[in-house]
Structure 1
Amino acid sequence: MINDNEFRAGYIAIIGRPNVGKSTLLNKLLHQKISITSKKAQTTRFRIHGILTDQQAQYIFVDTPGFQTQYTNRLNAFMNRVVTQSVQNVDAILFVIEAMRFDQRDRDALKILPKNIPVILVINKIDKVADKNQLLPFLNSIAGAFDFSTIIPVSATHKIQLPELLNTIRGFLPRNPPIYEKDDITDRSERFLASEFIREKLFRLVGDEIPYSTSVVIDQFNVENHLYKIYATILVDKANQKTILIGKKGEKLKQIATEARKDMERLFSEKVYLEVWVKVRNGWADSEATLKSLGYE
């Protein structure tokens, strides 16, 4: 039983430059995949709440896009706005960096952090450091970059020190009853997660440039007799991108849909029927009206 008198609940923003492992950290903390990941920067575009409830606390993690120091279209500007807004009304902030890497992009991201909210510096990917004796000098070299409440080295991928991180976070959360139901894992709908799983496969299975010129629209989402029927459209900016996404005899698009469907079935715990099309919509990433229609606002 949860004792509300001692129970803590609150919001924790996960902030950092692109590709430091923020979404992987969230998924590993939740023991469930809700935030898409890839090795390419800018995979995460939306703010996503990931919810973890145990006997002592409810942690509501706010996963955010990587903070961009240079951007060229309205989509990138939208993502930076999401990051800036996300740090304003939380109880604690996890500022994530990569072990042995701290450069001007990290320093620029630090500038958006408020001074009145506790900031935990999370040094991720420590498993990739061959000589662990290098960690302490690295830690000391960046400790003065900001008034961090504490510093915790972790490996999100291998779940190293994640229990210690949760215990530290709990100390910064206010005494509150649970905000969400104990079985909730996200504030996002299954429809939204379906679109994100498709978009993840674009980042993982297609060349370096094309995923940034794509978005995913769920045209239909129905559940009948334990079968999810999902019809989706991938928007691209140019006709040649459509050709690449479809691939020879439709093989690339089939691979994208198949792998996305498997992720959906794991999350929904039901069978999924998925159909995906590709359409060209020129300039969608710089069109304010189109971005709003796709949920970027």
Structure 2
Amino acid sequence: MKSIVTQRFINCHDKLKEENRIRSSRQFAISLDYLPQSLSEILKGRRDVTIELIRKAVEEYQLNPVYLYTGEGPMFMTEEDHKSFRVLTIVTNAQEDERIVHVPVPAQAGYAGEQVDPTFIQDLPTFTLPDYKYKVGTHRSFDVSGDSMEPTLFEGDKVICSFLEPTLWESAIKDNYVYVIITRADVMVKRVNNLLRSEKQLEILSDNAFYEPNRIDLGDIREVWYVRAKISPFLPSPQNIRNYLLDEIRELKQTIAAQGKLLSNLNDSVEKIMDNGQKKD
């Protein structure tokens, strides 16, 4: 039985034919670099539409992903909607299971670019995690750079994130939670205050008090990812922790001893001054 997304895809296909925007199903398939026989199987309900076919149809015919996945809104985007819309490329294995794409620091400038070639995403490293929560939905991981989120996150940490649909930004972005914000020029890992409903902006906050809060306009936001976990290369052993504490205690003892010596010297000086004063009298 075909999925509801496949049925909505078929509805869009039929609408394109009805409006003479495509001459035939065969022409529709060829324009999307897809086998006509495979499209026929989809239209007959014998197989489900693939993510890659949806991506191509969104780019070529402005199919509305919100309609495809939720049933809400028009079937097709306007030209203005399409200009600001960014298609999310995913990577799957042979069983069509989605893998987690990792975006390292050297790739982040390219990832934030206006138009990301799907092959750019497909060439990035991918992995899976055993937890079931990473088997449902789209997930991505990003390297943390800089010190703006210390002591919560350090440079070299990796954050594992869930994709947040643009239609949910206004209601689902929670104040003071950590997100990865993709703008037209940058990839940022920040704590967020949601001002989208009132001011069409996100306020971004750093855990490092050295950095001032900043704001991002809605129109500059490309993607939002909710940070669910982190992978850190910094894991001191219990022995290292004990040594660290011993060093701290040793330094504290030395400081106390130095202060005690200083007080003793001060006391001796005061007594000498008082003795000299008494002799003069």
Q: What TM-score does the superposition give when structure 1 sets the normalisation length?
A: 0.22
More contact order relative to length (CA 8 Å, sep ≥ 6):
1
Indicate the structure with greater helix content: 2
* Larger Rg computed on CA atoms: 2
Q: What TM-score does the superposition give when structure 2 sets the normalisation length?
A: 0.23
